[in-house]
Structure 1
Amino acid sequence: MDWRKGGSSNNIEIGSGGGGGRRFGGGRGMGLGGLVVLALIGWIFFKNPMALLDQGGAALDSGTQNSVPTQVDPEQQAFVSAILHSTEQTWGAIFQAHGGTYVEPKLHIFSGGVNTACGGATAAVGPFYCPGDQKVYLDLAFFQQLQDELHSSGDFARAYVIAHEVGHHVQNLTGVFARTDAARRRGAPMEGASGLSVRQELQADCYAGVWANHSQQRLQWLQPGDIEEALNAASHIGDDTLQQQAQGRVRPDTFTHGTSAQRVHWFKTGFDSGDMDQCDTFAGAL
């Protein structure tokens, strides 16, 4: 992927690490190591933002650790900036074509831990989007985990991560969050093979595919094997694959993100069509 064609975004923030206090997901400890990591990433990789809505505005406890400046490799920062800039171009044009205005999100790079409008988080939760402040949060160490723990390497696999989180921002702007949360409050199930969480995550995968389609048309920056990188990443983060690896069995009633096949299918749907209207994962069977 010739990502240097992507320009630079003005919406990159460099934050601080350290912190303490409450983590996303109810404060569950999330150690990194072995197959346990695969199971945990299955639950929190591409964190479902609906799980954060009830925490909106919550502050991180003061903690006992001191914040330290985030050290960012210039090459990685340039990569993230280029991908984010491309998503801004793509969604800006799509929203304009639909008669709307795209509000660009910030992408906050942190190390170790971070305070957000949705509460406090550590690097263990992986990349996530917070609707409370309309920011994508990313600890760049996750890219190494993506390669080592999920066997997904390459620039386009990393770009897919960012594009998926921006997809959640698109959902926020288009009212998907509000509608899904209203359905949840009425008793609609979040977990399960056809639950709201799975449908929301698969739509973000589809939106990532839409971005890939439009960015390729604009920049011609994909190289042989790039799409396969994204599909490989999607195939390794399906609930069924992660559960089988971690537990030796699959429990569809606990799915939160969709199967490997579904994640691949919906990314390809977005990429092949380039049409966000084809990404309605909330209608009918998945």
Structure 2
Amino acid sequence: MADNPVDAHSRGRIGSVRVGSVRVSLARHSALGGAVQYNSGAQLDPSQVEYRSGGVGGRVAVGGGVSIIMLILALVFGINPGELMGGTSGSAGGSASGTDLTQCQTGADVAKDRNCRFVVYANTANAYWAGLLQGYQPIKTVLFDGQTPTGCGTASTQVGPFYCPNDKNVYLDPTFTEQMLVKQLGGRGGDAAEAYVIGHEYGHGIQDMVGTLAQVQSAGQSTGADSAQVALELQADCYAGAYLAHVAQQPNSPISQITQDDLNRVADAARAVGDDSIQKMSTGQVNPESWTHGSSAMRQHWLAVGFKTGDPQSCSKVFTNGQ
């Protein structure tokens, strides 16, 4: 794989771009730093995001001797923190009250309150899947600082973003990009990288709704590059790619366009959360048999498959064609 997973080869309006091992085409725009371009006039639905502050409670059950970096390895972009680390987290400890981000009414509000960007991510992800799945029930994103009780145990900043199948919510600390993705995993960060993370977690929600999640979990936890657990994560990456391919194409979408810089940041995020990348950083060695989410190359590849095809049905091939 090339050193730069997103590589433009045209200086014209339309560029040919490589994301992972798949070449895609997109409109060529100037780099925007870390922020995507928002549609200031787009209407937002803040009820799809809840914000909890000052939450306290128990802690996720974790086996002895688990370091922060191994916690990240097991949990980042995961499903159930307790299950992935061999603990049990079936109920929430304590209680927390949350509020809707009522100040987030239009795309212009992202510039006034950066938390509004999470309303954009939730709105666009829910709109995308509602257009594809009959009877789709919107998934709520719950933002928190510190820690908060969930249907899967107590979430904390160290746990990272995850989808909880017990209460059908996505949980994340809004500082995770800076604190985890950038500072701990060496990623570039940015809004597009966050949209990828949200797209991945909503992908787990889709797997829950259609039964894929239950099938994989009923087979028992497994690890390794060819495991069903890794395929589950790669399919969620593929779903995120399909979502990102459509997000800027919808009429009145709060995200007006996805640029080359955005794609670079998305591909870099997939690289940063690859099991091999984290293992190299934490231990200096790579052990594919212990992988739970897939290598950087695998994650970039399936993200790119979803983006190129724009068809979530293509993401099922990860279970039949290998990773």
Shorter-chain TM-score bucket reads: 0.7 to 0.9
Question: Is 1:244 paired with 2:275?
Answer: no
CA distance in 2, matches of 1:3, 1:84: 14
Structure whose alpha-carbon radius of gyration is higher: 2
Residue 139 of structure 1 corresponds to which residue in structure 2? 173
Question: Is 1:58 paired with 2:94?
Answer: no
Residue 268 of structure 1 corresponds to which residue in structure 2? 304
Residue 87 of structure 1 corresponds to which residue in structure 2? 125
Superposition map of 1:168-183 within 5 A = 168-183=204-219
Residue 148 of structure 2 corresponds to which residue in structure 1? 114
**Counterpart of 2:194 in 1: which secondary structure?**
helix
Bigger mean CA offset, 190-199 vs 219-228: 219-228
Deviation at 1:178, TM superposition (A): 1.3
8 Å Cα contact 2:82-2:152 kept in structure 1 = no
The one-letter amino acid of 1:49's match is N
Deviations 1:27-78 (A, max 9, x none): 87654xxxxx3x4322211123385498464232x5xxx97989x9962221
Seen in structure 2, the aligned counterparts of structure 1 residues 251 and 183 have a Cα distance that, compared at 3 Å, is same
8 Å Cα contact 2:238-2:307 kept in structure 1 = yes
**TM-score under structure 1 length normalisation:** 0.84
8 Å Cα contact 1:49-1:168 kept in structure 2 = no
The Cα RMSD (Å) is 2.6
Seen in structure 2, the aligned counterparts of structure 1 residues 165 and 157 have a Cα distance that, compared at 3 Å, is same
Equivalent of 1:167 in 194, 203, 206: 203
8 Å Cα contact 1:47-1:125 kept in structure 2 = no
Question: Is 1:42 paired with 2:73?
Answer: yes
Deviation at 1:200, TM superposition (A): 0.9
Q: Between the two proteins, what is the percent identity of the paired residues?
A: 35
The one-letter amino acid of 1:3's match is Y
Seen in structure 2, the aligned counterparts of structure 1 residues 48 and 244 have a Cα distance that, compared at 3 Å, is same
Residue 30 of structure 2 corresponds to which residue in structure 1? none
Seen in structure 2, the aligned counterparts of structure 1 residues 68 and 183 have a Cα distance that, compared at 3 Å, is closer
CA distance in 2, matches of 1:46, 1:28: 21
Q: Which runs of 5+ in 1 are unaligned?
A: 32-36
**Counterpart of 1:109 in 2: which secondary structure?**
strand
**Of Structure 1 and Structure 2, which has the larger fraction of its residues in strand?**
2
Give structure 1 regions of 4+ aligned residues with deviation exceeding 6 angstroms: 66-70
Deviation at 1:236, TM superposition (A): 1.2
**Counterpart of 2:167 in 1: which secondary structure?**
coil
Q: Which runs of 5+ in 2 are unaligned?
A: 1-35, 102-109
**Of Structure 1 and Structure 2, which has the larger fraction of its residues in helix?**
1
**TM-score under structure 2 length normalisation:** 0.75
8 Å Cα contact 2:60-2:82 kept in structure 1 = no
Residue 247 of structure 2 corresponds to which residue in structure 1? 215
CA distance in 1, matches of 2:147, 2:200: 21
Number of equivalenced pairs: 267
Bigger mean CA offset, 153-162 vs 17-26: 17-26
Deviation at 1:206, TM superposition (A): 0.4
CA distance in 2, matches of 1:175, 1:154: 32
Residue 195 of structure 1 corresponds to which residue in structure 2? 227
8 Å Cα contact 1:20-1:113 kept in structure 2 = yes
8 Å Cα contact 1:4-1:79 kept in structure 2 = no
Seen in structure 2, the aligned counterparts of structure 1 residues 59 and 87 have a Cα distance that, compared at 3 Å, is closer
Seen in structure 2, the aligned counterparts of structure 1 residues 43 and 50 have a Cα distance that, compared at 3 Å, is closer
Seen in structure 2, the aligned counterparts of structure 1 residues 50 and 245 have a Cα distance that, compared at 3 Å, is closer
8 Å Cα contact 1:3-1:83 kept in structure 2 = no
**Counterpart of 2:53 in 1: which secondary structure?**
coil
